[in-house]
Structure 1
């Protein structure tokens, strides 16, 4: 049976031993590479191929190491699993099979980035690049969007009204009308419809007058994905003459 002094000595030795192990681990970690990802979200359009950047700094050979790319909101959560020079396809989430890969020739230089082919809307989310041997990882936020060019036309009645429609947007965009000097015109509220494919269709109309000029632009933009599409339309002089004629006949009828 240990005496009190012996127990105190033993506790002291255990504490000192634990502290030395901690210092050793801290020292070894200082010499290890860090896992570095991008500081800003990565934006991709549906159907594109995209790279989620991630690398080791300072660079080290990762070919024989263990590497995981994962998303917590998935089940199974793995987007890609790399073990000792081989990718484990059976561990991968079904939606990423055939679409997620590494730059295997670059692993020896510490490039552990993930390539996604034919991006889908469901790919949007937060990804984690993790190296178990280093106890370190980094996250990458992927934002997915869809865009299309607007179609502009004059109404059939030629009443000074222009129509603009654009299909296949994500997230929901904004619509602006501009005159030939780039000034924003006052338009009615934008009509927005979300389809079964979860993409948005927007429709907007504006009434133009001769003082606005002959060139008009419908601009559709989405700030989150930093995408803008616009279409220009040239209104012929006859159109304005017809509008002026309608206005004059309206004014004359007020005096009859």
Structure 2
């Protein structure tokens, strides 16, 4: 027969379990042979053990497949319950009931559950900055700050919480931008209900940077606080999804660089929290866009966003002078080439045509009369204005030989301009002086004929 049951005084314990991990609800008893174990949540059957095995017939379906005992340790007085994949709905008051030949015992466990803050995300628009965290429990406290510091009344925010079907929370807090977007660095902190966690996110949207192509450019990214065992990620967004272009892990010093040879970070400055990105020779099309730097440490994340605009390189004064000189040289060469290939042949053809016309008038029209006296040496010079060609002066030289059979003087072979059609020279008699220029612009001889046909000095030829 069983001895009279011995009832022990109730025991109480508080346990906190992390969602969605496994959790142990402790319970012990004095082993004295066969034992009966029952676990309840309030009056709901959670798990039962008797006849040396687990009994699931009365178990509530909420705990189905998620409970167990440490059967090998039961003979040693261990009646603890293993609760797998803890949920928000598991929180509450549990009772561990044990019964042996020595008596009965009840142990009460107050179970608290929490979902840890995994991350805090900050987003900014031109007017608002939003801080949010997902899948957390219970509701955390949210605080705001800025650098440079702002008055607390200026940091009034609106916080909203929503619950999903699992009972987990999404908390979102919104703050209005103070002044210009780039004036402040914003800090948002989520403090867990039990004060065991403080997660801080910070963000700064810097003023855009404009740089000429081909010139080195540094995009700043400096952590606002000292970081240890941090990671750094640079992303670049042009028109679609962000592309990771650089990744660095301070613990392993492992580096990934998608833009090898085009971009780099200073490893020594990195250890001091300076993750500024250096672009050696940025390109207009490939490297103009949005750059985002994220420094992540223990329960902290700092984000810096910068829009970069790469422009066409301007021309310096020296380069402009060289360029103008080059264009001037090119223009001169083009003009010379045009003159040689187009204008010069046309001029030559025109001069040749007019030369033939002048020769015809000179010889065919009796431009110089025959019948000069023997032993006459006369030199005639005519200065004639320009007639449609580029000749400003015409010289005709006639030399009468001692004996000219036909009485016609020779002409200079290099004359290329036509004489005026009315010009006519008549010279007879004794040798005279050279022709001189008259008031009408024509040259005439200083000798003139007398009434008998002789040439007398001091008179003009009519």
In the alignment, which residue of structure 2 is the partner of 1:251? Answer: none
Of residues 78, 81, 98 in structure 2, which corresponds to 1:111? Answer: 78
Of residues 79, 93, 99 in structure 2, which corresponds to 1:132? Answer: 99
Query: Which ranges of structure 2 fall in alignment gaps of 5 or more residues?
Result: 209-462
Name the SS of the counterpart of 2:207 in structure 1.
helix
Instruction: Give 1:238 shift.
Output: 2.9
Deviates further, 92-101 or 166-175: 166-175
In the alignment, which residue of structure 2 is the partner of 1:142? Answer: 111
Equivalent residues in 2 for 1:1-256 (5 A)? 29=6, 36-38=11-13, 41-56=14-29, 60-61=30-31, 64-73=34-43, 77-133=44-100, 134-148=103-117, 149-155=119-125, 157=126, 159=127, 161-179=128-146, 185=152, 186-206=155-175, 207-208=177-178, 215-224=185-194, 226=195, 228=197, 230-235=199-204, 238=207
For residues 208-242 of structure 1, what are the alpha-carbon distances to aligned partners after superposition, in whole Å with 9 as ceiling and x for unaligned?
Answer: 579xx965432223325x55352422425538xxx
Instruction: Judge conservation of contact 2:8–2:104 (CA < 8 Å) in 1.
Output: no
Name the SS of the counterpart of 1:105 in structure 2.
helix
- Structure-2 change in CA distance of 1:63 and 1:89 (3 Å): farther
Structure with greater Cα Rg: 2
What TM-score comes out, normalization by structure 2 length? Answer: 0.38
- Structure with bigger helix share is 1
Name the SS of the counterpart of 1:171 in structure 2.
coil
The separation in 2 between residues aligned to 1:84 and 1:44, in whole angstroms, is 30
Name the SS of the counterpart of 1:135 in structure 2.
strand
Instruction: Give 1:35 shift.
Output: 6.9
Q: Which has the higher contact order (CA 8 A, sep 6+)?
A: 1
Instruction: Judge conservation of contact 2:10–2:108 (CA < 8 Å) in 1.
Output: no
In the alignment, which residue of structure 1 is the partner of 2:396? Answer: none
Instruction: Give 1:181 shift.
Output: 9.4
Name the SS of the counterpart of 2:62 in structure 1.
helix
Instruction: Give 1:137 shift.
Output: 0.5
Q: CA RMSD in A?
A: 3.4
Instruction: Judge conservation of contact 2:140–2:192 (CA < 8 Å) in 1.
Output: yes
Instruction: Judge conservation of contact 2:39–2:96 (CA < 8 Å) in 1.
Output: yes
Instruction: Give 1:128 shift.
Output: 0.2
For residues 131-182 of structure 1, what are the alpha-carbon distances to aligned partners after superposition, in whole Å with 9 as ceiling and x for unaligned?
Answer: 1332221100112233442211222x2x4x4210122233233211234699
The separation in 2 between residues aligned to 1:33 and 1:183, in whole angstroms, is 60
For residues 185-217 of structure 1, what are the alpha-carbon distances to aligned partners after superposition, in whole Å with 9 as ceiling and x for unaligned?
Answer: 53313122334443322221234579xx96543
Instruction: Give the number of aligned pairs.
Output: 199
- Structure-2 change in CA distance of 1:180 and 1:128 (3 Å): farther
